[in-house]
Amino acid sequence: MECQEEKPIIYTMENKPIVTCAGDQGLFTSLYTSLAQQLPREPMEWRRTYGRAPKMIHLEANFVQFKEELLPKEGNKALLTFPFLHIYWTDCCDTEAYKSTVKEDMTRWQNSLRVHGSADWVIIVVETNDTKKKNKTNILPRSSIVDKIRSDFCNKQNDRCVVLSDPLKDSSRSQESWNSLLLKLRTLLLMSFTKNLGRFEDDMRTLREKRTQPGWSFCEYFMVQEELAFVFEMLQQFEDALVQYDELDALFTQYVLNFGAGDTANWLGSFCAPVRSWSGLLLRRPIDMEKRDGIQRGEASLLDLRSYLFSRQCTLLIFLLRPWEVTQRALELLHNCVQELRLLEVSVLEGALDCWVFLSCLEVLHRIEGCCDQAQLAANCSHTVGLWAYATDKLKSLGELCGLVSEKGPTSEDLNRTVDLLAGLGDERPETVSSLQSPYKKLKEALSSVEAFERHYLELSHAAMEMYRAIGRLRSARLVGKSLAEFYMRKGDPERAETFLQEALKSYTSEGWRLPVTHTRKQIAECQKLLGRTEDYLQTSALLAGDVNLTTEERKHFCQEILTFAGKSEDQSPKVTLSMGVFSQLTRLQFRPATASVHSGAVLQAELTLRCLMPVSVHIQQLAVSIHFDLERAGTNGRSKGAPRQTNPGTVEFSQANSSAGPTSSSAAGPPLELDEIQDRSPSDNSLNSTGVVCKNTHLVMRRHDSNSPPDTPNCVSPPAMTVKEGAQMLKVQDVTLEPGNNSIVFTALSGQPGTYTLRQLYATVGQVQFVLPHIYPSVQYEVYSQEPQLTVEPLSEPLLAGLPQMVKFTLLTGHYAVKKGDALQLSNTDTMPILPSASCTARITSPAAELVGESVLSIQSSEKVTSISLPATPPYHTLEFHLEVLCIIPHSPDRPANERLTNGEVRHRPRSYSHPDTPMTAIDQRMSIDCPWSIYSTLLALTFYIPFKTKHSLLSAGNRKYIQVCLQNMSDVNFMLAEVKLTEKQDASLELQSFNTKTQQLLCSKHSLFCLWEVRWKDDLPSCLQCVFSANFSPPKQDISAFKPFHYQFQLERVTTLYSVRAEILPPAGEQNCRSGFLCGLEVCITRLTEPAEGEAAEDSKTDTDGLKTTKLMYEVADSSSNWAVCGKSSGMVSMPMAADATHKVQIEVMPLFAGHLPFPKIKVLKYLPHTAAVAIQPDPDSCVENDSLSLLDKALDDQGDTASIRSRGSVHSVGSGDQQQQKGVAMPRLEPFAAGQVFNHSHTQQVLVLPATDDHIMEVNAT
């Protein structure tokens, strides 16, 4: 009985901190109920050491009678039996009683505590009115008794004595007394917890640090740290309790890993003992005392330790309302235990681990079902499905081991193995005896017979698959289905097995798992062979024959299966159609010629590159390509040079997916993996603990591709059968042997009828087997065209320069027309672009491949209107080229002759020059009409020539002397040599043009200009209008004189006679020899008539005054645009000028120089003034508008000067010049008209005058020291 008391069974949740009670036990008994109920009612903040976060806890206590045996002995580290607080109860109010009994009892109590080192105590003095009434004579005040107790026992700890007043009464004083007592008890308990737990943790930490010393035992340390976990659990701090078990789990795991790495520990020897029991986890007890005792004695096996540790973690997780974490941890535990047993090299009976895992999975599932309802289980099946699948897998392993899966059933050896496994299970635990669905009963029943095993295995398998499908994990569901298929294969039911294998293959194929695909296909092939499905079996065999993941012998075996069937006669077996993708792959197609476009009747070859996937050579009776012909897209019409034929790619590369699957198959490959390295390093010394690889685009790689997989990919098992349509055009090659790897096959394409030919399907016939590529993708086409002849003319070099002989190239694309001997081109001759005769003109004939076929000398005959070019015989779809020399005449006459007509009757349009936006040269379009023998219509072709020169002219005057200047600018990129530069006048023979150009030949470089000057001399009178012709011969440098070509430029000069001369003189102020800045000076303007008026001039603007003289009105204006002068007087005005030679008029104007120096004279302008009688009354002259605008601008400038007299005079001029702004259009108004260039000669145009500064004072500062 004493032994049983020393080892009580511990139920953790019933444990509470022990508080001993000494003194008056009757008093304590009367107050126990109230004390036990009110103590945990209010939470207390528990501040722990080492910076751990404070927590609010509810304190409970197990109040027991004080015994000295309860005090901890030396070296005893048990916390569950440790009394955290000692209380002494008394209600003594009698002095005699206190001295005689109570004091002595308190002394013995404190001496016992002091001996055992217990410093956590408190004395509670209870005061009641009944006690006072009984001892009225010897009663002392309560304070006297309390003071005596404090002075006797609480000298330095007065708070260790607490008074409880009237505890059984319901009054405010009693409640206040209770609250004070409870607060004191909670505080003392927390202080005791903190102190004792801290001391315990320090001892535990010291023990853990000694783990490297010999003799250290993990089991002893396990019991110590579990004591701490029990205390936390006792305080309902389940999270802290779970941390203790997790630390023990991690520590043990690390030792096992170190053992596997060669670092052994002596205490691990006890865990390396052979496993004798595999009864699985036990989660239905809070504590499995049997396994705990084994750990305490050091006799527990690895499975016992792991089972006990997990059971404690499971209990705490359920208390924390985290049942789904239990399933996650359980799955990790089961996998880790299997690995740890291998690392520790523990001897285990074959199949024992499978039994332990199976029982453990079901135990965890039953434990979770016991604390969750069905709705929660259904919503969180993602957490439990892993255990269902693991249990299924282990049950299958047990069935295979015990012979329950084979068709013949278990043998005697299998039965003996089953008995040994069931013996290791032991007796069923009392907790599950009454349960009909306990894991123990399920396993025992499943191993008892074949039928029971099949029932339980199918039940678990289908449950796991349904859960996987419910949470969207189709891959895992198909993996379970694959395992189920293997079960059916062992049972001899291939039809059911194939269904599950097909589903698994679909996932593996879409996700690119090559090895699982190969393994699954082998299983499918076995099923199909057993079921007699020949076509499907051959299709799968072809896939396996081309699978590089198999050995060569296996591939040859499956290839021979196909060849054996192909060699059968038609009577023995029907023809079978298979997918080409499993047999060979189309990798490349190349056309010859590379343009994939030929004319009708030409030879076009298509070279196919096939990569044979078979491991041996395969003889093909016929390889054919079906062709679709499209007549609507045929190139039957002639095409211009600007719209070339749309060419197809001559070489097409096919990817593995595209050549067989069509445009949607590229999605099956999926995105590439994006991998990154992860490292786990120790926070203390930064040493590498572990490393791994993580996929950064898992969301893309792991997503479902089932719906995107095309139905005709070679990855599928049974593609739809393909048939060849009757009457389809085919390209065929007979008797081809395909070697493993790349093979080249050449087809001769059809090119009879023009149109577009599209390659649709590829067929390979091997005996009774036909391989079909249903779609050739990307689309491959070639074009057969019938083209009209095309004649083009283009410059041999850019640009074509007018005025010089230029070579042009004639190109004739014969198209479907065959040029016969005697055929000729008829070119219409034009005056503006003659065709120059040539001694020899050679024509080149080239093939469509640009190869020279032949050369021939052309016969060219010219007449007045037509140039005939005889063509050599040229085959169809060849090119004929020859060169002709033409000359574009530069137009120089504005006269327009009568319209001419071309040979086809059309009116010839004279070429017009225009400015081209891409070049500064002037362009001329020349058109030619050509009659061709293959058409009844004339062909109009155009050539653009560019005039290399740009010419300007100007009239210069020096008094009465006249000069003509011509500027010739070379706008081209060619240098020219000029010769015989002349200027002539066509009307007046007496007129003499004296040249100042001394050189007979002059080099005119590109982008440069040449200026030529002539003086005009006359005998009698100078004509008012000159008709001039500028001429020069030009040619490129270093050419013979005969190569020079003429260039003419005509222009007309009008009103060249000088009518007036203007002289100006600036007079300094009175008494000064020179002008000074800032002083008024006089400007004298003298206007002189030089000639008698001509008839036209007299009639136009003359007027007869009272004296009978003919006069004309002139307007003058003085302005200085350079701001050197300020016009202070009248700046403009009108004068009446007699129209007689030497008539003179002088005007005085005041001006002020603004700067010193040699200043140019102010600008003096003379204009005609035409009265309103000379104006046209129908519509205003645009010139007058221009002059009015300029006069208005002049008025604005004059207004800014601010001179009153000038303003008045300008106002009169403005009113005359502009007229009333409200006049309607068409009313005659006076206007101003400028003189032509050369009619007015200003002698002071470039004259300057010396202007001195205003003062001549110079000041020099000199400092003398």
Q: Say if residue 983 is exposed, middle or buried (CB neighbours under 10 Å; 0-12, 13-18, 19+).
A: buried
Express as a percent the part of the chain with pLDDT over 90.
20
| Coil, strand or helix at 532 | coil
Q: What is the reported pLDDT for 618?
A: 92
Read off the tokens for 964: 């003509």
pLDDT in tens, 1133-1153: 888 888 888 889 899 889 999
| pLDDT band with cut points at 50, 70 and 90 for residue 710 | very low
Cβ 925 vs Cβ 944: under 8 Å: yes
∠ at Cα 34 (30, 36), nearest 5°? 105
Q: What is the dihedral of CA 754, 755, 756, 760, to 10 degrees?
A: -90
Helices marked H in 968-1117 — which ranges?
1095-1101
pLDDT at 919: 76
- Residue 243 pLDDT: 92
pLDDT digit string, tens, across residues 498-517: 989 998 898 888 888 889 99
Range with lowest mean pLDDT among 525-539, 638-652, 718-732? 638-652
Residue 1029 pLDDT level (bands cut at 50, 70, 90): very high
| Alpha carbons 808 and 885: distance in angstroms, whole number | 6
Distance CA 972, CA 966 (A): 19
1207 pLDDT band, cuts 50/70/90, is: very low
- Angle CA 175–177–183, to nearest 5: 100
Across 619-628, 1014-1023, 1192-1201, the highest mean pLDDT is recorded for: 619-628
Task: Give CA 964 to chain center in angstroms.
Answer: 71
Q: What pLDDT does 733 receive?
A: 92
pTM of the predicted structure, to 2 decimals: 0.55
CB neighbours (10 Å) of residue 825?
20
pLDDT of residue 1030: 92
pLDDT at 5 over 60: no
Please give the pLDDT value at position 1199.
Answer: 40
- Residue 980: which H helix or E strand, with range? strand 976-985
* Whole-number average pLDDT of the chain: 81
Least confident of 69-73, 204-208, 704-708, 1031-1035: 704-708
Confidence label for 1034 from pLDDT (cuts 50, 70 and 90): very high
Name the least confident of 702-711, 920-929, 1173-1182: 1173-1182
pLDDT for 1012: 93
More confident residue, 913 or 476: 476
Q: pLDDT tens, 10-49?
A: 444 457 888 889 888 888 888 888 888 888 888 888 887 7
User: 3-state class of 858 per DSSP?
Assistant: coil
Structure confidence at residue 11 (pLDDT): 41
Are 457 and 445 contacting, i.e. CB atoms less than 8 angstroms apart?
no
User: What digits encode the pLDDT tens for the residues 979-1001?
Assistant: 999 999 888 777 888 888 888 88
Residue 55 has pLDDT above 60, yes or no: yes
**Longest CA–CA separation in the chain, Å:** 178
List of long-range contacts for 414-418, beta carbons under 8 Å, 24+ apart: 417/350, 417/351, 418/447
Which of these ranges, 6-20, 715-729, 1047-1061, has the smallest mean pLDDT?
715-729
pLDDT grade for 359, boundaries at 50, 70 and 90: very high
pLDDT tens per residue, range 325-353: 999 999 999 999 999 999 888 898 999 99
3-class secondary structure, 117 = coil
SS3 1102: coil
- Residue 658's pLDDT band (cuts 50, 70, 90): very low
Distances (CA, A) of 1 to 64, 296, 421, 692: 20, 21, 38, 58
pLDDT of residue 1195: 39
For residue 1109, is pLDDT > 80?
A: no
Nearest-5° angle of CA 231, CA 236, CA 242? 70
| Phi, psi of 583, deg, nearest 5 | -100, -50
Q: What is the mean pLDDT of residues 302-327?
A: 91
Q: Are 292 and 308 in contact (CB under 8 A)?
A: yes
Q: Is the pLDDT of residue 913 over 70?
A: no
Report d(CA 39, CA 820) in Å as an integer.
127
Whose structure tokens read 């004068």? 1135
φ and ψ of 102, to 5 deg: -65, -45
pLDDT at residue number 672: 64
Taking the CA atoms of residue 247, residue 252, residue 255 and residue 261 in that order, the dihedral angle to the nearest 10 degrees is -110
pLDDT attached to residue 639: 42
Share of the chain above pLDDT 70, in %: 83
| C-beta of residue 543 within 8 angstroms of C-beta of residue 537 | no
The pLDDT of residue 439 is above 80: yes
Q: Has residue 1220 got a pLDDT over 50?
A: no
The closest of 764, 506, 733, 761 to 618, measured between CA atoms, is 764
Tokens of 365: 């599932």
Read off the DSSP letter of residue 156.
Answer: S
Identify whether the C-beta of residue 467 lies closer than 8 Å to the C-beta of residue 385.
yes
Residues in the chain: 1265
- Predicted local distance difference test score (pLDDT) of residue 895: 43
- pLDDT at 869 > cutoff 70: yes
pLDDT digit string, tens, across residues 528-586: 988 888 888 988 998 899 888 999 999 999 999 998 888 887 777 788 888 888 889 99
Q: Tell me the three-class secondary structure of 1070-1092, residue by residue.
A: CCCCCEECCCCEEEEEEEEECCC
Q: Tell me the CA end-to-end span of the chain in Å, nearest whole number.
A: 133
Q: How many CB atoms lie within 10 A of CB 439?
A: 26
Residues whose CB falls within 8 Å of the CB of residue 582, separated by 6 or more in sequence, listed in order:
539, 542, 543, 545, 546, 613, 714, 771
Q: How confident is the model at residue 369 (pLDDT cuts 50, 70, 90)?
A: confident
Angle at 387 between CA 385 and CA 392, to 5 degrees: 95
What six digits make up the tokens of 1014?
């002539």
Closest by CA to 1024, choosing from 994, 993, 991, 1050, is 991
As a whole number, mean pLDDT of residues 354-381 equals: 89
pLDDT at 765 over 70: yes
477: three-class secondary structure by DSSP? helix
Residue 298 scores a pLDDT above 90: no
Q: Which helix (H) or strand (E) holds 577?
A: strand 576-579
How is residue 895 written in tokens?
């006269």
d(CA 194, CA 46): 8
